[in-house]
């Protein structure tokens, strides 16, 4: 039976970075009809009631009904070490990340953390994530099993490393290829799941391993590929020392078949002009991780330049280097980073980044990230007056974005009124 939900419905009819905030539409008395996991009709609430008189109705009043949040760069195995104190990137990996990831050889522990991770993200209104796993195939199985159980659209891959990591977290060029291929064949395209080829970053992979994964990507072009790029200056220096013949950090991937459309490059803060040119030429995606970049002291992402160059840019928590599971907090951090660069991002642009922008980065904008006929019915219902501080700010608002902005800056899981996954209330 069709289900009709009513509220203030937000949808996109263009890119607010290119065409301005007015392309983000708000139907104040809107309705969305869901059937069979998809959105089948949208319009005014009265029109939807008339067109679907037999539909079950849930009225959310003045709450905002939005596409579900999409988080395109996370490390679910770092769930338990989020907000650990006092390290930059390389020390963070050695002190916190690698010891924790060793535990994912245990399938029971991997399943426990995967379930906890999805409980936390759903509570924060996130309906799709793209995650790094660990080198252990069991960690991928745990992630996809939990996502499948919840009916989620989800992306993940086995993280591959064959140097500069503890022995218990190293594979080889051959096992990276073989394990990734086997997992890809097991999970890719099953239900709403997608496998992502995943070299952690070039300093932890030999040229032989990078080439093996580049070959796997060439053989499976329907898959995305994810890695890290130019997150910190000392990381860049390390990569250049390990690859002395590379023109720049990006070339450590490009030379091994790991640059292309469908590539997801996390952070990308300290890019050289050639790197930007090549990323634009191939149609790659960048992922901005603002809470992580400030927490680990990486730098300030140049959103305006990357968007102006036509790159697809997503917005991500990067948990657990990122310090929050909330895309609301991540939007707030993106606003703050832009302010430090002398740019004031519009609330419409921030919301778009956390939904449609991230869907575009994952090349899934035809399925998720918007409210339109034929899209997956993955939705979040947001209370724009969830706390006293937010409510008193929205009471003074003269227009919708003044009502939304306090929730971006001060909202948390208390603002999440409801989450729908494939049309089902989660």
For residues 272 and 305, give the distance between their C-alpha atoms in angstroms, rounded to a whole number.
12
pTM: 0.97
Structure tokens at 295: 């927490």
Q: Where are the domains of the chain?
A: 3-67+370-425, 69-361
Beta carbons of 290 and 263 less than 8 angstroms apart = no
For residues 43 and 30, give the distance between their C-alpha atoms in angstroms, rounded to a whole number.
6
Tell me which fold the domain 3-67+370-425 belongs to.
Urease, subunit C; domain 1 (2.30.40)
pLDDT attached to residue 92: 78
Alpha carbon 62 to its chain centroid, in Å, reads: 27
Partners of 313 in beta bridges: 286
For residues 321 and 292, give the distance between their C-alpha atoms in angstroms, rounded to a whole number.
5
DSSP state of 357: I
Classify domain 69-361 by CATH number.
Answer: 3.20.20.140
Task: Give, rounded to a whole angstrom, the gap between the first and last alpha carbons of the chain.
Answer: 18
Other CB atoms within 10 Å distance of the CB of residue 396: 9
Residue among 159, 189, 192 at smallest CA distance from 266:
159
Residue by residue, pLDDT tens for the chain (426 residues) are: 999 999 999 999 999 999 999 999 999 999 999 999 999 999 999 999 999 999 999 999 999 999 999 999 999 999 999 988 877 777 878 888 999 999 999 999 999 999 999 999 999 999 999 999 999 999 999 999 999 999 999 999 999 999 999 999 999 999 999 999 999 999 999 999 999 999 999 999 999 999 999 999 999 999 999 999 999 999 999 999 999 999 999 999 999 999 999 999 999 999 999 999 999 999 999 999 999 999 989 999 999 999 999 999 999 999 988 899 999 999 999 999 999 999 999 999 999 999 999 999 999 999 999 999 999 999 999 999 999 999 999 999 988 899 999 999 999 999 999 999 999 999
Please, what's the b/e burial string for 327-348 (b: 16 or more CB within 10 A of its CB; e: otherwise)?
Answer: bbbbbbbbbebbeeeeeebbbb
Per residue in 191-242, pLDDT tens? 999 999 999 999 999 999 999 999 999 999 999 999 999 999 999 999 999 9
Structure tokens at 47: 């029109």
For residues 387 and 370, give the distance between their C-alpha atoms in angstroms, rounded to a whole number.
27
Structure tokens at 190: 């099953």
């Amino acid at each position: 039976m069709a289900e009709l939900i009513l509220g203030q419905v937000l949808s996109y009819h263009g890119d607010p970075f290119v065409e301005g905030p007015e392309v983000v539409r708000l139907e104040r008395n809107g309705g969305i009809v869901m059937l069979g996991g998809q959105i089948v009709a949208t319009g005014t609430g009265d029109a939807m009631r008339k067109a679907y008189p037999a539909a079950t109705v849930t009225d959310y009043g003045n709450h905002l009904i939005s596409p579900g949040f999409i988080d395109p760069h996370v490390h679910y195995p770092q769930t338990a070490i989020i907000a650990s104190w006092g390290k930059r990137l390389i020390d963070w990996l050695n002190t916190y990340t690698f010891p924790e990831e060793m535990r994912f050889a245990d399938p029971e522990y991997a399943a426990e953390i995967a379930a906890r991770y999805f409980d936390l993200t759903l509570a924060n209104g996130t309906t799709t994530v793209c995650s790094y796993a660990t080198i252990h195939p069991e960690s991928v199985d745990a992630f996809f099993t939990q996502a499948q159980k919840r009916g989620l659209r989800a992306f993940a891959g086995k993280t591959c490393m064959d140097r500069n990591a503890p022995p218990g977290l190293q594979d080889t060029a051959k096992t990276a290829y073989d394990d990734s291929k086997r997992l890809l064949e097991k999970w890719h395209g099953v239900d709403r799941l997608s496998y992502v080829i995943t070299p952690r970053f070039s300093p932890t992979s030999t040229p032989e391993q990078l080439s093996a994964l580049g070959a796997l990507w060439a053989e499976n072009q329907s898959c995305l590929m994810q890695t890290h790029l130019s997150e910190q200056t000392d990381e860049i220096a390390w990569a250049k020392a390990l690859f002395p013949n590379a023109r720049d950090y990006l070339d450590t991937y490009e030379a091994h078949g790991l640059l292309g459309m469908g590539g997801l490059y996390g952070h990308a803060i300290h890019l050289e002009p050639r790197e930007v040119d090549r990323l634009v030429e191939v149609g790659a995606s960048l992922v901005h991780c603002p809470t992580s970049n400030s927490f680990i002291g990486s730098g300030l992402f140049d959103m305006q330049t990357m968007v102006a160059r036509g790159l697809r840019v997503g917005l991500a928590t990067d948990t657990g280097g990122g310090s929050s599971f909330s895309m609301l907090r991540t939007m707030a951090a993106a606003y703050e980073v832009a302010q430090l660069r002398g740019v004031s991002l519009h609330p419409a642009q921030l919301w778009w980044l956390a939904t449609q922008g991230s869907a575009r980065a994952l090349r899934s904008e035809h399925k998720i990230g918007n409210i339109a006929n034929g899209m997956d019915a993955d939705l979040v219902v947001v209370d724009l007056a969830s706390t006293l501080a937010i409510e008193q700010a929205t009471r003074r608002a003269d227009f919708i974005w003044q009502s939304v902005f306090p929730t971006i800056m001060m909202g948390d899981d208390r603002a999440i009124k409801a989450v729908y996954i494939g049309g089902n209330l989660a």
